[in-house]
Amino acid sequence: MCLTALCILIGKSGKRLSEMEESQMALFDDEPVKKKPVHEIGQDLSLLSVGELDERIAALRAEIVRLEAELTAKGSTKSAAEALFKRG
């Protein structure tokens, strides 16, 4: 194994990283760690447990609430702008 790969596997603490930590590590220190999405649209669901499905449903419902709030906020802003520039 090359020295660079060994340094990546061991990490800064000198202890070997878990597989999960290895998969989430950025290649370079200044590169942000990419977070794995909770759910991917179109993903095969047959391998997920009932608990995992419940967690994903809860996460998606929370995201829908967040999206609807943003849509409402944007609608209010649009209405205010239209009222301001409306000529009667």
Residues 52 and 79 in one domain: yes
58 and 73 part of one domain: yes
Same domain, 22 and 44: no
Instruction: Say yes or no: 17 and 58 in one domain.
Output: no
CA-based Rg of the chain, rounded to a whole angstrom? 22
Tens-digit pLDDT profile for residues 31-88: 777 777 777 889 999 999 999 999 999 999 999 999 999 999 998 887 877 887 876 5
Q: How many domains does the chain have?
A: 2
Q: What whole-number distance in Å separates Cα of residue 16 and Cα of residue 72?
A: 48
Q: How confident is the model at residue 18 (pLDDT cuts 50, 70, 90)?
A: low
Q: Which domain holds residue 46?
A: 39-88
Higher-confidence position of 51 and 2: 51
Using alpha carbons, list the distances in angstroms from residue 60 to 14, 26, 63, 67, 87.
38, 26, 5, 10, 42
Based on the domain organization, do 4 and 21 belong to the same domain?
yes
Rounded to the nearest angstrom, the gap between the alpha carbon of residue 21 and the centroid of all alpha carbons in its chain is: 16
Identify the pLDDT of residue 21.
Answer: 58
Question: Whose CA is closest to 58, among 42, 34, 39, 72?
Answer: 39
The pLDDT of residue 87: 64
Q: Which residue has the higher pLDDT, 23 or 36?
A: 36
Of the CA atoms within 13 Å of residue 8, those in its CB half-sphere come to 14
Residues 53, 25 within the same domain: no
* 52 and 27 within one domain: no
Please tell me whether residues 84 and 44 are part of one structural domain. yes
Is pLDDT of 12 > 60?
Answer: no
Task: Quote the pLDDT of residue 6.
Answer: 47
